Amino acid sequence: MEALDAIANRKTSRRFSSKKISSDILTSILDAGLHAPSNDHMRKWEYVIIDDLDKRMLLIEKIAKERTTNEAAKIVEKVGYKNEEQRKMYIDAIPLQRKMLLTASALVLPFFFQGKELLKLKSLSDLNYFASIWCSIENILIAAASYNIQGVTRIPSEEERIHIKKELNIPSEYELPCYLALGYPEEDEQVFKQVNMNIADHIHINSW
């Protein structure tokens, strides 16, 4: 699959089939992550694969208990989302925060070197390591889409981040930006429409 086709084929999936991702394909997908641009040229990224269900259960125990669809609707209403597709997506997603991590064929925890405390930075340039790992994650998602494998990310709470680092013996200078769940989507998975955007409306020449 060509790069632009893979980008167009990428979608967020939270419901995965039981089909396994082969180790060769997963390695190829993660290798694509290592080809992303890096702020210091050294690509100080590590990827921890959690393939043991008990281990996954242990790592997600700090995630809030699954909410119902009705509870999710109330949250969306409180936040004030107005776009109908956005509302439907969140109402579907909120109750799946634990399940999607447990049922994904591959649960990958990407870690990046962060020399300074991430939440106490003083300038934009201090975010260079954080920005670089997200380039890696996007490469992974696009590479996965080229195999018709889809994924979803979830940002950990501070409590989750501390818990995961402790359980996995992660060096103190490395940080976790997200959980990354990958898998083959269920055949009848509901696909939410992306909000229609015209690139011409988002390009500015010489000034905003």
- Residue pair 110/178 in contact (Cβ under 8 Å)? The answer is yes
Count, in order, helices (H) and strands (E) of the chain: 8, 5
In degrees to the nearest 10, what's the CA dihedral of 19, 22, 23, 25? Answer: -120
Full-model pTM: 0.93
Yes or no: is domain 3-55+104-187 CATH 3.40.109.10? yes
Burial status of residue 113 (CB atoms within 10 A of its CB: 0-12, 13-18, 19 or more): middle
Each residue's pLDDT tens digit, 162-191: 999 999 999 999 999 999 999 999 988 877
Neighbours of 97 (CB within 10 A): 18
* Beta-ladder partners of 19: none
Predicted pLDDT of residue 48: 98
* pLDDT tens per residue, range 51-107: 999 999 999 999 988 899 999 999 999 999 999 999 999 999 999 999 999 999 999
What pLDDT is attached to residue 109? 98
Statement: residue 12 has pLDDT above 90: yes
The 3 state secondary structure assigned to 65-98 is CCCCHHHHHHHHHHHCCCCHHHHHHHHHHHHHCC
Is the pLDDT at 204 greater than 80? The verdict is: yes
Sorted by where each begins, the domain ranges of the chain are 3-55+104-187, 64-97
Whether 17 has a pLDDT exceeding 80, the answer reads yes
Over residues 105-126, the pLDDT tens digits come to 999 999 999 988 888 888 898 8
pLDDT value of residue 139: 98
Tell me how far CA of residue 207 lies from CA of 124, 200, 201, 203, in angstroms: 22, 14, 14, 10
Per-residue DSSP letter, 172 = T
For a pLDDT cut of 70, what percent of the chain falls above it?
100
Residue 160's contacts (CB-CB under 8 Å, 6 or more residues apart) are: 60, 62, 63
Q: What are the beta bridge partners of residue 175? A: 112
